[in-house]
Structure 1
Amino acid sequence: MRILVTGGAGFIGSEFVRGLLTRRTDRVTVLDALTYSGDLANLAPVAQSPAFDFVHADIRDADAVRRIVPGHDAVVHFAAESHVDRSIASATPFVTTNVHGTQVLLDAAVEHGVGRFVHVSTDEVYGSIDTGAWSEDQVLDPSSPYSASKAASDLLALSYHRTHGLDVVITRCSNNYGPYQYWEKLIPLFVTRLLRGEQVPLYGKGDNVREWLHVTDHCRGVELALDKGRPGEIYHIGGGTELTNAELVDRLLDACGRDWNAVRRVPDRKGHDRRYALSTDKIRDELGYAPRVAFDAGLADTVAWYRDNPHWWQSRGSTSEKVVVGA
């Protein structure tokens, strides 16, 4: 099978590509605009594979996408603007990339007869939940410009299945963590600052609750959806570990040999969702998914990776206060 992976130089997309080229015989083309969070270094372990191709292009460029899509059997669509704080500061890149860019890809997939289109989304499209967990039929109620743009792209993808008969499968995941994650998200930002001896910013009381998913488990779930998901269906991919942000920060402090004197409270994010939680019954029962990476072990390995690879994160981004993170 020949697979086109959009956003394949980013954190999650590059993990997916590295896994495919390590375990399978598929040919993989990565389409990536190499914006601030995409980096070819993430693909260095597989860059010399004869089954790997890279195209530097933007999913919003319809002419480029029309040239790239033909000949591919499947599209796995990771490319997105994904940071809530950036979307609060300016929603335009989120609407143009996440909505218009997805539409451009869907049009090309229909035009050129792509066999399967996996659209990778997020639990944030549901808004906030106080108790229990969302099933896949939950009404969408996004809180931020980012999550609203992802909800719009989800609905657009489903409309192409219903209108054009495109074989669309949607996955929605909980918060990811692991190696190669760009510094602006909570875990890499806090780890890299703590390792530098700097302070870290924590939103509000730190009582917002998130479910954590190792990136390798997420990519296994996406691969199952690619191979076995039912057309027109949505599948949740969760990690099963819920923590308040304060509980997570406590673990990060311990892992980095720091204490709470390193934490500085900052005003809470606008529209900050209280809690996310996904039911994974459907993907477990239909596709055989279950997370394999225990959170404590996965977090320890992640911290160790950042500690052992300072060249990777010291040369990317900064520790600027202009963007702080919750989760």
Structure 2
Amino acid sequence: MTVHDRSAFIIGGTGQIGRATAARLTAAGYTVTLGQRRLRPDAPASDGVVSVQVDRADTDALLKALDGHDLVVDTVAFAPHHGAQLARLAGRVGSLVVISTGAVYQAPGLPVPIPETWPTVERDTHDYPAGKAALERLLLATPGLPVSILRTGVLHGPYGKSLDHWSFIKRALDKRPHVVIAQGGRSRFPTTAVANIAELILLCARQPAARVLNIADDPLTVAEIGARVFAVMGHEAEIVTFEGPSRPDGLGFHPWNVPEPIVFSLDKARDELGYRPAVSYDDALRQVIEWAVPAVADGQGWQEVFPDLIARHGPDVWFPYAAEDAYVLPGDGHRV
């Protein structure tokens, strides 16, 4: 039995990052408190994990709950007013880790790979990247605050509301013989397994400092991602590509659809903290597939399990099987 001699508090502890982090921290000897706006019956429950109800809009109550912990992890900080709350933890907690996003990087003209020193967006808007960037600046400017800001790619792991890999997982379940991919199948867009975020959070907790770190998987092309998903699921399918963007009927669509590669540098996490992935890409795929397939099969459609996929891309572009079949002519290998 693990001896829990350190304490951590996770704001947003029932999401996919919170669940993975709670498991990693308890294994490392932390007692973990999950902060929830409304207590949920499906919240993680195990040795060393407890749940409390706290409304982050009530700053005094939130700070009282966070005071004195060795580690505070905030998975749901999105805007400067959240940063103003967290800034008041200077001198009151051992380490603070805040989840941000690679969407803060200023484009176009992104280098390959992108270092943490690349400029972030500064536009005066209320959209997601601008809010995260402003949050980061506020926290990093706070004296005495040991805050590690983690810039992630598109998340994948159990309990997520979005799973880009579903584009290939469902095709394997449907035993599709082929998939058609736009942009020559060369698109690269960072993905991040939540188990590896949890590993980096633990390293940050052990070495508190004010810093920014990228965290992402190996920079695979979309064609390579499809091949890895099919291999893990024991499915054989031809990956057919064409140049240019996807078509209006959805042919060629995939959620990594960018014309230029977007790749994060992980040198800083490796060099400063000794980061190494806790799980391989294939093992991370197995974990999410083992959760996602039963979740979709349990009386819900995939649209209900992954509503954020629909919110981001709409409902009609995901599985244009008739268009794919028309494009891939059987037998002679020609394309139309």
Give the CA deviation at 1:6: 1.0
The one of 26, 29, 34 aligned to 1:30: 34
- Cα deviation, 1:195-251, whole Å, max 9, x if unaligned, reads 4799xxx9975764213332212211111011114x222222232x22344553465
What secondary structure does 1:209 align onto?
Answer: coil
C-alpha displacement of 1:5: 1.0
The answer for unaligned runs of 5 or more in structure 1 is 81-96
Report the structure, 1 or 2, having the larger helix content: 1
Alignment correspondent of 1:86 = none
**Alignment match of 1:226 (pick from 200, 205, 230):** 205
If the length of structure 2 is used for normalisation, what is the TM-score? 0.70
Q: 1:102 to 1:14 in 2, by over 3 A?
A: farther
Confirm or deny: 8 A CA contact 2:152 2:216 kept in the other structure: yes
Greater radius of gyration (CA):
2
Local SS of the residue matching 2:210? coil
1:57 aligns with 2:54: yes
Q: Is the aligned partner of 1:243 residue 2:223?
A: no
Matched with 2:246 is none
Shift of 1:28: 1.4
**Could you tell me whether the CA contact under 8 Å between 1:59 and 1:105 is conserved in 2?**
no
Please give the residue correspondences for 1:147-226 in structure 2 after superposition, counting only pairs within 5 Å.
147-160=129-142, 162=143, 165-182=144-161, 184-188=162-166, 191=169, 195=173, 205=183, 208-226=187-205
Q: Does the 8 Å contact 1:118/1:169 carry over to 2? A: yes
Q: Which residue of 2 aligns with 1:278?
A: 264
Please tell me the residue identity of whatever aligns with 1:225. Answer: C
> Contact (CA 8 Å) 1:123, 1:276: kept in 2 or not?
no
Q: Please name the residue that 1:18 is paired with.
A: 23
Rounded Cα–Cα distance in structure 1 between residues aligned with 2:132 and 2:272: 24
Superposed displacement of residue 155, structure 1? 0.8
Query: 2:68 matched to which residue of 1?
Result: 71
Cα distance in 2 between the residues matched to 1:134 and 1:127:
10
Note the C-alpha offset of 1:176.
Answer: 2.9
Count of paired positions: 290
Question: Judging changes above 3 Å, is the alpha-carbon distance between structure 1 residues 318 and 4 closer, same or farther for their aligned structure 2 residues?
Answer: closer
Q: Tell whether the 8 Å contact from 2:112 to 2:261 is kept in structure 1 after alignment.
A: no
List runs of 5+ in structure 2 lacking aligned partners.
1-5, 241-248, 315-336
1:291 to 248, 260, 277: 277
Q: Percent identity?
A: 25
CA contact 1:120–1:171 (8 Å) conserved in 2: yes
Q: Is the 8 A contact 1:9 1:40 kept in 2?
A: no
Structure 2 contact 106–118 (Cα < 8 Å) conserved = no
Is residue 190–residue 252 contact of structure 1 (8 Å, CA) maintained in 2? yes
Deviation of 1:193 (Å): 8.2
Relative to the length of structure 1, the TM-score reads 0.72
RMSD of aligned Cα (Å) = 3.9
Q: In the TM superposition, what are the counterparts of 1:82-93 in structure 2 within 5 Å? A: none
Distance 1:148 1:272, change over 3 A: farther
Q: Distance in 2 between matches of 1:203 and 1:31?
A: 41
